[in-house]
Amino acid sequence: MLNLSALFKAPRIRGGVHAEEHKASTSAQPIVVDFPLPKKLYIPLQQHVGKASEPVVRVGDHVLKGQLLAHSQGMISAPVHASSSGVIVDINDYPAPHPSALPIRTVVLETDGEDKWISAPPVDDPFQLAPEEVSLRVGAAGIVGLGGAAFPSAVKLNLGRENRIHTLLINGGECEPYLTCDDRLMQERAEGIIDGIRLMLYGMETGQAIVGIEDNKPEAYTAMRKASLPYPFIKVEQVPTRYPMGWDRQLIRYLTGREVPAGGRSADVGVIMHNVGTAYAVHRAIRFNLPLISRIVTVSGGAVASPMNIEVPIGTLISELFAFCGVNQTATRRIIMGGPMMGDALPHSRLPIVKASSGILALTQEEIRNKAQQPCIRCAQCVSACPAGLLPLDMANRIRNNQLDAAVDIGLKDCISCGSCSYVCPSNIPLVQYFKYASGELAARQQAQHKSEHTRRLMDERNARMDRIKKQQQEEEQARLAAKAERERLQTEQGTLA
Amino acid sequence: MIAHSKLSSGAHIGTNTTVRHIMWQVMLAISPATAVGLFCFGWPALNLFIVTLLSAVLFEAFCLRLAGRIARPVIMDGSALLSGWLVAMTLPPWAPWWIGVAGSGIAIILGKQVYGGLGQNLFNPAMLARIALLISFPIEMTTWPNVSPVFSAHAPGLIESLSITFYGLGSMASADAMTGATTLGYIKTEFSQQHWLPDILADHSIFLDFLGWTRGSLGETSSLLLAAGGIWLIRQGVIKWHIPVSLLLTVTVLSGIFHMMDGQHYVSPLVHLSSGALMCAAFFIATDYVTSPNTPAGQLVFGAGCGLLIFVIRTWGNYPEGAGFAVLLMNAATPLIDHYIRPRIYGRYRNGKPLAQKITAQERKQ
């Protein structure tokens, strides 16, 4: 019988764009694993959302590959491990891979070339471990979301166990143009990913998993499908190629028909999502006791002579990757970490690869949008492109007129900065930049308000204290005067008596 | 404004579409219908067309200079040229030169630049110009030449056409023999003589109306070519289907109902659809980005509103041509439509409240 309810619940895709892909140059070649070990590794102590890790090594220490460098701090954090063996030569502030290149506490490791692992016995049968042991070990291995968000994975797994999760979604969407690191990973290491998924399901005590892969990656789909065959509770499904399909909420809606409430978490609709790279890292961490010390990075863009996917140690400088892939420095107009839609432009290449670096792009003048900005013609392309159902043109207009609260009223806080609106704008208005500016400004205002409230409270308290002291002094004075009067009275009395 | 050189966040790439690209695509889409008009009405139409386009660009340059801006890059975006073109499309083909100049002036200065230029105007500049001209110069704006294709026996020659354009049709001895009424105008006057539809349209060919072989505005006679251009624009992704479809559907359904109820008084949908002004309004005027709503639902409402007003004005109004008035009235309603019809934000109800969590007991783990 025709299932009408399923028909009405049919998930659909809202908004999004189909950007030119630029994936062919890297998706057909195997992952390069023999990247020469750099002389020095710059390992930042904050490579995740949350609190920075606290170093446990000192300058001069010799460390082995996989040895703990810094332990996590607080609820949301992840430890950092040595990406190779060698000597710690510095623990200091170095530029972070961020548009501002602001300094961040970094461990500098001079490699000794031996690349010697710390002894870590593999686990015979991880399914004999207690389920909560999985997230403990994932946490200890320093695994964070490798899709780019860098949220500590163990925290998510715990969340998954505590909340009632019915589905683990695995994001193999990789919707960003140019990036193919997940594609290659799925093609080459599908068994590992599937094993990681099984381990996560075991750790979360959850029944089923769905892997979503965009239909522009048929090889990855086939490989994953094949690897998943023995496990009927792991479904591998194709999803349409439409950016931002990798946005967790878009994928959740497409694959489960559920919509995460605004301000809520995916766990609210019974879903937790992890990236395929994260699943693979979980497999390595639980099966082989290996921490997250390397990742696959797509190096691509018009200025790259040989674009490729490389497995590199965390802390490798981007400049070394560029030298390896033959990047034309003069042709490079913009260096981007991540994809071209949501990635950040970096000021230079002497910045390290971190756990969240899915791609490093060296784009030429022709590739980046460099046309002059023109007035908005209200074509509403941005409205059609917005996957969140917002009105980018209207929000930008309000922000331009400094009506930030009015912009919030029509959904500024629901913007995910996916860049679809900027991508389609024929007037080249940097819409996302407006929204980021406004969000930053609002946060600053809120902070300033908190501060002024705090100051006022301190002032009030001080005034109250002063009043109290004054009153006390007055009372003391009165008491003193009264005592004096009393004394004098007694003296006169005594005098009269005498 | 945020400078691109300081861009640190995405999207770092973009489509090749630019404002200029869009304007040229629209001009390309209206050129076949324009060509038919220029062919049917000959040299005087070409003179008027050139004068209108040229003056539109000059007015734009003049305004930009007044505002202290560099005119060249703005002129190059093609929006002034397109406005001039649309104004010319709606003019009687043999109107004198100053009608074209006045039309461009109203469109560019009053319709666009006083609001702050491209993207800022509330009303469609071309329609504003047409309606202002129609009210100010009713004679010139309702003198429709007969179809007299270039090189045909009755077509005015080059010298004659210069005289028509620069000294007016009055300079011609045979002026009356050269003009008549448009189909809709003819029906309206015949109604006032107590003639009813079957007689009025007895020897009228709707087919020729569709092709453009009929009296009417310079570029608005060939409804077939206008519709073809419009469909091409939809295919190119320049305009969306919502406004044209809801507009045409509304007119068709309303006129169909009334025609079925009383065929003596109400023209059939075919007569409405074969009037080029309707197609021009549906695909090229009402779809103007700046003056129409942003959301698909809003566009459907807008198109239906235009269609309703066109039908009402054509049927019961004093002017045979309802499209211009209808579009202007709906332009005025656009901010209201945009205020009330907004897309539903992901994770929220239409009223903006976050969705309630929906996880069934069955799905909950034990």
| CA distance linking residue B106 with residue B88, whole number of Å | 12
Q: Which residue has the tokens 């683990």?
A: A168
Tell which residue, A306, A337, A324, A308, has the closest CA to residue A27: A308
Find the helix packing angle between A190-204 and A181-188, rounded to 10°: 90
Buried b (16+ CB within 10 A) or exposed e, B107-135: bbbbbbbeeebbbebebbbbbbbbbbbbe
Q: CB-based contact (8 Å) between B73 and chain A?
A: yes
- From B10's Cα to the closest Cα of chain A, the distance in A is 5
Q: Which of B1, B117, B357 minimises the CB distance to A373?
A: B1
Would you call B12 and A376 a contact, using CB atoms and an 8 Å cutoff? no
Query: If we measure between CA atoms, which residue out of B91, A489, A55 comes closest to residue A497?
Result: A489
**Two tokens at B242?**
């919502």
Q: Strands A308-313, A334-337: parallel, antiparallel or unpaired by DSSP?
A: unpaired
Rounded distance between C-alpha atoms, residue A176 and residue A182, angstroms: 11
> A377, B363: Cβ pair inside 8 Å?
no
Question: What DSSP assignment string belongs to A140-193?
Answer: HTT-B-TTTT--BHHHHHHHHHHTT--EEEEEE---STT--HHHHHHHH-HHHH
What is the rounded CA–CA span in Å between residue A278 and residue A393? 36
First to last CA, chain B: 55
Residue A232 vs residues A238, A245, A368: alpha-carbon distances, Å: 16, 24, 44
How buried is residue B62: exposed, middle or buried, by Cβ count under 10 Å (0-12/13-18/19+)? middle
Task: Give B179's pLDDT tier (boundaries 50, 70, 90).
Answer: confident
CA distances from B29 to A418, B79, B172, B247 (A): 33, 15, 34, 19
- For residue B135, the cross-strand partners are none
Asked if residues B334 and B292 have their Cβ atoms less than 8 Å apart, the reply is yes
Q: What is the pLDDT of residue B160?
A: 84
The total of other beta-carbon atoms located within 10 Å of residue B152's CB is 11
**Spatial separation of the C-alpha atoms in residues B55 and B91, rounded to whole Å:** 15
Q: Which residues of A350-375 are buried (b: 16+ CB within 10 A; e: fewer)?
A: ebbbbbbbbbbbbbbeebbbeeeebb
Name which of A122-136, B26-40, B191-205, B320-334 the model is least confident about: B191-205
HSE at residue A239, side-chain half, CA atoms within 13 A, is: 32
Q: Round to whole Å and give the CA distance between B242 and B245.
A: 5
- Cα–chain-centroid distance for residue A386? 21
Express each pLDDT in A386-427 by its tens digit.
Answer: 999 999 999 999 999 999 999 999 999 999 999 999 999 999
Grade residue B6 by pLDDT with cuts at 50, 70 and 90.
low
**If you average pLDDT over every residue of chain B, what do you get?**
90
Q: Which of B9, B19, B355 sits opposite A374 (nearest CB)?
A: B19
Peptide bond into A430 cis (omega under 30): no
Q: What is the pLDDT of residues B239-293, one digit of tens each?
A: 999 999 999 999 999 999 999 999 888 999 999 999 889 999 999 999 999 999 9
d(CA A365, CA A455): 50
Residue type, B73: P
3-state secondary structure of A72: coil
Work out the pLDDT band at B359, boundaries 50, 70, 90. Answer: low
Contact residues on chain B for A437, CB-CB shorter than 8 A: 2
- Residue appearing with tokens 């692992």: A117
The yes-or-no verdict on residue B9 having pLDDT over 80 is: no
Element of type H or E holding A62: strand A62-63
Instruction: Outline where chain B has alpha helix (H).
Output: 19-66, 71-76, 79-90, 97-105, 125-136, 138-141, 158-167, 175-178, 183-192, 197-200, 206-211, 223-235, 242-261, 269-274, 276-280, 296-316, 323-340
Which amino acid, A387?
A: P
How many angstroms separate the CA of residue A459 from the nearest CA in chain B?
A: 38
Q: B343 and A377: CB-CB below 8 Å?
A: no
d(CA B280, CA B90): 9
Min Cα distance A205 → chain B (Å) is 9
Residue B186: its pLDDT value, please?
84
**CA angle at residue A243 from A237 to A249, to 5 degrees?**
65
Q: Does pLDDT of B366 surpass 50?
A: no
Say how many CA atoms lie within 13 Å of A214 toward its Cβ: 23
The pLDDT of B292-299, averaged and rounded, is 96
Q: Do B343 and A386 touch (CB under 8 A)?
A: yes
Q: What pLDDT does residue B85 have?
A: 97
Residue type present at position A113: G
**With 70 as the cut, is the pLDDT of residue B363 above it?**
no
| Set of chain A residues whose Cβ sits within 8 Å of the Cβ of B4 | 369-370, 373, 428, 430
CB-closest option in A259, A370, A423 to B355: A259
| Residues in a beta bridge with A272 | A168
Taking 50 as the pLDDT cut, the residues of chain A under it are: 1, 9-10
Predicted local distance difference test score (pLDDT) of residue A116? 93
| pLDDT for position A101 | 85
pLDDT band at residue B175, thresholds of 50, 70 and 90?
low
**Is the N-terminal amide bond of B11 cis, ω within 30° of 0?**
yes
Q: What is the pLDDT of residue B7?
A: 64
Q: Residue B344 and residue A389: Cβ atoms within 8 Å?
A: yes
Calpha distance B98→B89 (Å, rounded) = 15
What phi, psi does B248 have (nearest 5°)? Answer: -65, -40
Element (H, E) at A396: helix A392-400
B229-288 residues touching A, CB cutoff 8 A: 240
Q: How far is B103 from chain A (nearest CA, A)?
A: 22
CA dihedral of residues A168, A172, A177, A179 (deg, nearest 10): 120
Residue A340 sits at the chain B interface (C-beta within 8 Å): yes
Residue of B nearest to A417 (CA): B10
The strand pair at A208-214 and A167-172 is best described as parallel
Strand partners, A91: A107
Could you tell me if A376 lies within 8 Å of chain B, comparing CB atoms?
A: yes
CA–CA dist A178, A309 (Å, integer):
11
Give me the residue label for tokens 């990635």.
A343
Query: Could you tell me the two tokens for B123?
Result: 């009303």
Measured in degrees and rounded to the nearest 5, phi and psi for residue A271 equal -130, 140
Q: Read off the amino acid at residue A8.
A: F
HSE at residue A368, side-chain half, CA atoms within 13 A, is 26
Computed from CA positions of residues B205, B208, B212, B215, in that sequence, does the dihedral angle turn out positive or negative? negative
* DSSP annotation of A365: T
Residue A270 forms contact with B (CB below 8 Å)? yes
Residue type for position B363: E
The strand order across the sheet containing A62-63 reads A40-44, A103-111, A86-95, A62-63
Chain B positions touching A374 (Cβ under 8 A) are 18-19, 77, 118
**CA A49, CA A51: separation in Å to the nearest integer?**
7
Q: Are B213 and B182 in contact (CB under 8 A)?
A: no
Q: What are the DSSP calls for B246-283, one per residue?
A: HHHHHHHHHHHHHHHH-TTTS--HHHHHHSHHHHHIII
Give per-residue pLDDT as tens, B145-160: 888 888 887 788 888 8
Query: How many whole angstroms separate alpha carbon B221 and alpha carbon B227?
Result: 11
Distance from the Cα of residue A61 to its chain's centroid:
30
B10–A343 C-beta distance less than 8 A: yes
To the nearest 10°, the Cα dihedral for B274, B277, B281, B284? 90
Q: Quick one: pLDDT at residue B3?
A: 44
pLDDT of B5 > 70? The answer is: no
Task: Determine how many CB atoms are found less than 10 A away from the CB of residue B25.
Answer: 18
Other C-beta atoms within 10 Å of A444: how many?
10
Q: In what order do the strands lie in the sheet with A271-275?
A: A234-239, A208-214, A167-172, A271-275
β-pairing verdict for A54-55 and A68-71: antiparallel
Note the pLDDT tens digit of each residue in B283-292: 999 999 999 9
